[in-house]
Structure 1
Amino acid sequence: MKPDHAASRRRVLQAGLAVPLTATLPRLTRAGAAPGARVRPSDAAWPAADIWKALAGQLAGSLVAVRSPWTECVRAPAAKACAEVFKQAKNPYFLGDEVALTQTLGWVDAWTSAPSAYAVRARNTADVVTAVNFARNHNLRLVVKGGGHSYQGTSNAPDSLLVWTRDMKDVTLHENWVPRGCEDRMAPARAASIGAGALWAHAYDAVTTRGGGYVQGGGCMTVGVAGLVQSGGFGSFSKAFGLAASSLLEAEVVTADGRARIVNACTNPELFWGLKGGGGSSLGVVTRLTLRVHALPETFGAVNFTVRAKSDAAFRKLIALVTRFYADQLMNPHWGEQIRFRPGNVLVVSMVFQGIERAQAQATWAPFFAQVEGQEQDFSIDFSPLKVVATSARTFWSPTLLKRTLGFIRRDDRPGAPEGNVFWPGDQGQAGQVLHGYQSTWLPAALLQPARHGALCDALFAATRHWGLSLHVNKGLAGAPAEAVAAARDTAMNPAVLDAFALAISGAEEQPAYPGVAGHEPNVALARQRARSIVNAMGALRALVPRWGSYVSESDYFEPDWQQAFWGANYERLAAVKQQYDPDGLFFVHHGVGSEKWSADGFTRLRA
């Protein structure tokens, strides 16, 4: 079962100006490239050494010839240097700082993390423009990486040119900000402008810890800001503040023609809409985002406990109890995170709250605890020492000495690492993982109504006979404020999210492994077995929702009807935005807008 990457967050509680930058290099003759194909290093049309040298000069040191540390591991798997790579692969900041690496190392039978031939380590928008123009003029496969957290492998591709935005991570707070061109339409608001390479750890430090505000972002601190927003974006408190994409006020984006554009509701509004949930790196390279800053609640809190059912029948009863309790008491802006159903008839509740105090949270859960504790013949309940806890919201993401001492937060342990390089221990499970399988499905709130509740419980029970799953209740907007739902409706996200009470997720993975490294290769047989179990588990739930939707960032690599699953009725409009701003398909990602026109690797245009 997919580990709970939000667990440590809960344990903490237990203690600019757009300009048309169009400079280009001499265009290389494309002789030797197959018609309709992008060029590879083995093709005659690949830029010659002097062309790359000219690009390096134009970029003033920002062009990198990429070398993967895995190459040396394949050659000498028992060497000390290889052992160090595998050890460091559990440090998400090490992975993020290595141009050749990604946070996930691959997905069995789907993709393996493999580096680009060259990378532009972009320091500013001008570097991005130069890279985009070079890739377009020389018919290269272009890849964009910020945080590098893509489960779909979209932040890496061999034989490509990588635009790496890691160094573009400034965060600037504005007290009274209005999107350009919207001065007569929008009132000033508090906002934060964030570089495309920033991670949520950077954003929360600037906006919350130092600024006393709240920006709707990801739960994992090492996820990239730009990628999350472009994919719609959920955090622990999305049920209160809506999608991360809904808080986007303005972006700077470099489009396929090499123009740096300002996009907002008043300027390039269709492109702006497409960036709000249309998927990362399909429409352009985002270089800066400006997000609305919300008022920070006084308190964040958490509830954590485990219930073990003593029989299958008791577990079926427990599923009914907790889902009914959720529908009656928790489907509102105060609550978020996970209700997990594990193999062996185990329920794990790991939830967070905001906008209420600890005493109110205790009172809310008291009836449920009384029911469970009153049926000792069916259930046993395990609590952490502090089952209902609360803390100051302002210090939630702050790496205080107490948190570090108690192990509630971890720091990048490399010598000289920045003080702000911190992460939740529970999120470390993602670092260096190799996925075996992963699926998600939004579950509509109608399933909680009396007429359908029994069918939902039956499906959840049937799913757990195959594999575990989690209900991420913060990743559905049923019960959210009307304004949060309305703002989400004005994004490219699948409208299924609007009335979903949760996103059901089932997944499996193993820890760092890499093909060809003797003694460290992925367990292919186990992966395929687990993948079948996940398909069977999620099939039980999907049978309840004929036109189900799936969250693009947390979805099946092999999704056959991905246009419908990720975007539903919005896909046609997204395709029109793609045609307007990238008619030749320079920007390609797996199962991204317009990708159906290309081969699976993004190198060959398919005939209509």
Structure 2
Amino acid sequence: MNRRDFLRITAAAAPIVISKWDAAFANTLPPAGRVRPGDAGWPSGEAWEKLSQTVDGRLLKLNSPFDNCAGVDCAQLWESLSNPFFLGDEPALTQTLGWVDAWTSRPSTYAVAVRSTRDVVAAINFARDHNLRLVIKGGGHSYHGTSNAADSLLVWTRHMDTVTIHDAFVPSGCEGQQPAPAVSVGAGVLWGKAYNEVTTRAGRYVQGGGCLTVGVAGLIQSGGFGSFSKAYGLAAASLLEAEVVTADGEARTANACTNPDLYWAIKGGGGGSFGVITRLTLRTHALPEFFGLAAMTIRAGSDESYKRLIARVMEFYADALFNPTWGEQIVFRAGNRLVINMLFQGIDEKQAKATWQPFLDWLKEAETDFRLEADPVFIAAPARHFWDPHFLEKVPGAVLFDDRPGASADNIFWTGNLREAGQVLHGYQSAWLPASLLGSHQREALAEMLFAASRHRSVALHTNKGLAGAPPAVLEQVRDTATNPAAFQAFALLICAAGGPSAYPGIAGREPDAAKARADADAVGKAMSEVRRLVPNAGCYVAESDFFEEHWQEAFWGTNYPRLLTVKDRYDPDGLFFSHHGVGSERWSADGFKRRA
């Protein structure tokens, strides 16, 4: 029996199991539909006021900033949408404003701006007792729109932002375990702050994401790939302990010794499916001497020379870069352009140049066929300064700062992430590419696929998001996560995506360009069809995937899905925690308000 058949049988059996559970516990189940404002069961004003008092006045009534823009000039709002810190500090907004034909960012009716575990418990108990749709938002970077829903109660963790460094941490209940250097972060901490505290100030490394405004909690629950994943593994694999408030309102410790099933599930099982994480403690690592960048852009003079260039760069990657030193992107674009943006760790600038010299020599020998549109750049910096805002301020074009009056001088984000702030997605798909494609017998087919896909839309190999090539000890740790096992055999995650600038339905002159979006989505689909001809059942990364993925259980988690569903049933049997294509979401309507029969 293959993996797909196994999962289909499991999915088919799930309703039988659920129906037996329903029969035995029918009197304890919530109503078939969650309530909305105006419904008979919607909480009274007195009930909301009581919740507000319980959380010390941190209950917020939300309205969309776009509500006041119809027919008036909202130039300042549209300008602010390019600042990810503005988006993150506005509980009615999300970092991505929508996906054409999929979802649009809508504010919750109320939010609890939680600052403590006690606040989270109060919000969860209120939502459960009043049968409300519940949403969780920290960084708010979900491409699938899972951190927003109209007519809901939002648990907004942005203000839970403490960071504590540990020289020797032992998880609760694991007293015989070897102490490890670690960092504890609140649920609202962003990776930029985590790196600044751990690396800049404490001289250690914590494995996290590349985008500095992504939330730590969300990334951990998605698995978490950073630029140096082949060296340090998944961010989720560094998790030593978490505090999770589950659907019954209990604050539970989750680690290898206490609630180990919950601990495993939140390490890659998807954000907001098992509870609200309030605190995470992550293992930290010794810093290498240097982190650095290697970048260049090459244009081929013809289709045939571009095919040769693709074949050569993949051969070079297999021989020289397929190791823990290198990560990040090789991009194949229309117009026969190859864009290289690779990061390295543990070597200096001279060693990085020496690594690439054979490839550069090959280009020079065939200079009539290829032209450098952006000359090779090799930069190495002391690792301790890689996320140091004061150091990066002196590097031209590297970062942008939060430009709001009174904003922290530490609020930085990579210039390359600017176009993602307030974006509207048109399409987004990904696929794990197995390392076997790098072998001499399959490399030609790999190059042909990359060329064919680039005829429709640019495709990027995120080499840091495939764990093949990592050391055995790293692979051993990441296998103890809920991440799709396909990632462990992959040398890269291929991503093909399209999007547009900030836009919002119903605002004249600012509406999404639906025609362009659908054309872009069609091009993404055609490019990915070329990929799937070579890798039919590749699977994909839950955080960077197609909103419309049909077989999402298998695509996101592979053979781990049945186990994740078991954990879901133990800690959230009534499905309080719902997100689009989250564990157990097949039991609910697409908006999470109606239970399916």
Counterpart CA distance in 1 for 2:110 and 2:379 is 49
Residue of structure 2 in register with 1:137 after alignment: 129
Deviation for aligned residue 1:404: 4.9
Residue of structure 1 in register with 2:13 after alignment: none
Residue of structure 2 in register with 1:47 after alignment: 43
Residue of structure 1 in register with 2:76 after alignment: 84
Superposed counterparts of 1:293-312, under 5 Å:
293-312=284-303
Deviation for aligned residue 1:54: 1.0
Residue of structure 1 in register with 2:173 after alignment: 181
Counterpart CA distance in 1 for 2:93 and 2:446 is 41
Residue of structure 1 in register with 2:479 after alignment: 489
What's the secondary structure of 2:534's corresponding residue? Answer: coil
Match among 532, 551, 554 for residue 541 of structure 2: 551
What's the secondary structure of 2:257's corresponding residue? Answer: coil
Counterpart CA distance in 2 for 1:539 and 1:84 is 41
Match among 246, 249, 252 for residue 255 of structure 1: 246
Counterpart CA distance in 2 for 1:163 and 1:383 is 45
Counterpart CA distance in 1 for 2:213 and 2:34 is 32
Structure 1 residue ranges, 4+ long, deviating more than 3 angstroms after superposition: none
Deviation for aligned residue 1:544: 1.6
Structure 2 unaligned spans of 5+ = 1-28
Residue of structure 1 in register with 2:59 after alignment: 63
Residue of structure 1 in register with 2:95 after alignment: 103
Counterpart CA distance in 1 for 2:425 and 2:325 is 32
Q: Deviations over 1:463-502 (max 9, x none)?
A: 0111001000000011111111111111000000001000
The aligned amino acid for 1:223 is V
Residue of structure 1 in register with 2:5 after alignment: none
Counterpart CA distance in 2 for 1:55 and 1:399 is 39
What's the secondary structure of 1:53's corresponding residue? Answer: helix
Q: Deviations over 1:328-387 (max 9, x none)?
A: 110000000000001100000100100112111111110000001110221112344x61
Native 8 Å contact 2:386 2:392 kept in 1: no
Q: Deviations over 1:426-450 (max 9, x none)?
A: 1111100000000000000001111
Native 8 Å contact 2:30 2:574 kept in 1: no
The aligned amino acid for 2:509 is G
Deviation for aligned residue 1:407: 3.4
Superposed counterparts of 1:398-547, under 5 Å:
398-400=388-390, 403-404=393-394, 406-547=396-537
Superposed counterparts of 1:330-349, under 5 Å:
330-349=321-340
Residue of structure 2 in register with 1:118 after alignment: 110
Deviation for aligned residue 1:388: 1.2
Which is further off, 135-144 or 408-417? Answer: 408-417
Deviation for aligned residue 1:252: 0.2
Match among 320, 326, 331 for residue 317 of structure 2: 326
Deviation for aligned residue 1:399: 1.3
The aligned amino acid for 1:373 is K
Native 8 Å contact 1:173 1:193 kept in 2: yes
Residue of structure 1 in register with 2:267 after alignment: 276
The aligned amino acid for 2:377 is K
Deviation for aligned residue 1:409: 1.8
Counterpart CA distance in 2 for 1:312 and 1:534 is 20
Match among 33, 49, 60 for residue 37 of structure 1: 33
Match among 344, 347, 369 for residue 378 of structure 1: 369
1:161 aligns with 2:157: no
Counterpart CA distance in 2 for 1:256 and 1:404 is 47
Match among 355, 359, 379 for residue 368 of structure 1: 359
What's the secondary structure of 1:442's corresponding residue? Answer: strand
The aligned amino acid for 1:329 is A
Counterpart CA distance in 2 for 1:338 and 1:228 is 19
Native 8 Å contact 2:221 2:269 kept in 1: yes
Total equivalences in the alignment: 569
% same residue: 60
The aligned amino acid for 2:86 is F
What's the secondary structure of 2:442's corresponding residue? Answer: helix
The aligned amino acid for 1:472 is H
Native 8 Å contact 2:294 2:341 kept in 1: yes
1:595 aligns with 2:591: no
Counterpart CA distance in 2 for 1:417 and 1:425 is 18
What's the secondary structure of 2:544's corresponding residue? Answer: coil
Deviation for aligned residue 1:402: 6.2
Residue of structure 2 in register with 1:4 after alignment: none
1:574 aligns with 2:564: yes
Deviation for aligned residue 1:406: 2.6
What's the secondary structure of 1:543's corresponding residue? Answer: helix
Residue of structure 2 in register with 1:197 after alignment: 188
Counterpart CA distance in 1 for 2:596 and 2:195 is 43
Counterpart CA distance in 2 for 1:547 and 1:437 is 19
1:222 aligns with 2:213: yes
Native 8 Å contact 1:122 1:163 kept in 2: yes
Native 8 Å contact 2:466 2:488 kept in 1: yes
Counterpart CA distance in 2 for 1:450 and 1:72 is 60
The aligned amino acid for 2:143 is Y
Counterpart CA distance in 1 for 2:392 and 2:192 is 18
Q: Deviations over 1:258-288 (max 9, x none)?
A: 0000000000000000000000000000000
The aligned amino acid for 1:72 is N
Native 8 Å contact 2:30 2:131 kept in 1: no
Counterpart CA distance in 2 for 1:165 and 1:214 is 24
Q: Deviations over 1:393-418 (max 9, x none)?
A: 10111112662573322211111111
What's the secondary structure of 2:166's corresponding residue? Answer: strand
- Specify whether residues 302 and 588 from structure 1 end up closer, same or farther in structure 2 by C-alpha distance, changes over 3 A only: same
Q: Deviations over 1:2-45 (max 9, x none)?
A: xxxxxxxxxxxxxxxxxxxxxxxxxxxxxxx9940000002111
What's the secondary structure of 1:451's corresponding residue? Answer: coil
The aligned amino acid for 2:437 is L
Residue of structure 2 in register with 1:286 after alignment: 277
- Structure 1 length as normaliser, TM-score? 0.92
Deviation for aligned residue 1:546: 2.6
Counterpart CA distance in 1 for 2:128 and 2:301 is 62
The aligned amino acid for 1:312 is D
Deviation for aligned residue 1:548: 1.1
Native 8 Å contact 1:66 1:119 kept in 2: yes
Deviation for aligned residue 1:58: 1.2
Q: CA RMSD in A?
A: 1.2
- Specify whether residues 405 and 309 from structure 1 end up closer, same or farther in structure 2 by C-alpha distance, changes over 3 A only: closer
Counterpart CA distance in 2 for 1:377 and 1:405 is 34
Counterpart CA distance in 1 for 2:536 and 2:548 is 18
Native 8 Å contact 1:373 1:380 kept in 2: no
Which is further off, 520-529 or 424-433? Answer: 424-433
Native 8 Å contact 1:373 1:381 kept in 2: no
- Structure 2 length as normaliser, TM-score? 0.94
What's the secondary structure of 1:423's corresponding residue? Answer: strand
Deviation for aligned residue 1:573: 0.3
Native 8 Å contact 1:436 1:510 kept in 2: yes
What's the secondary structure of 1:304's corresponding residue? Answer: strand
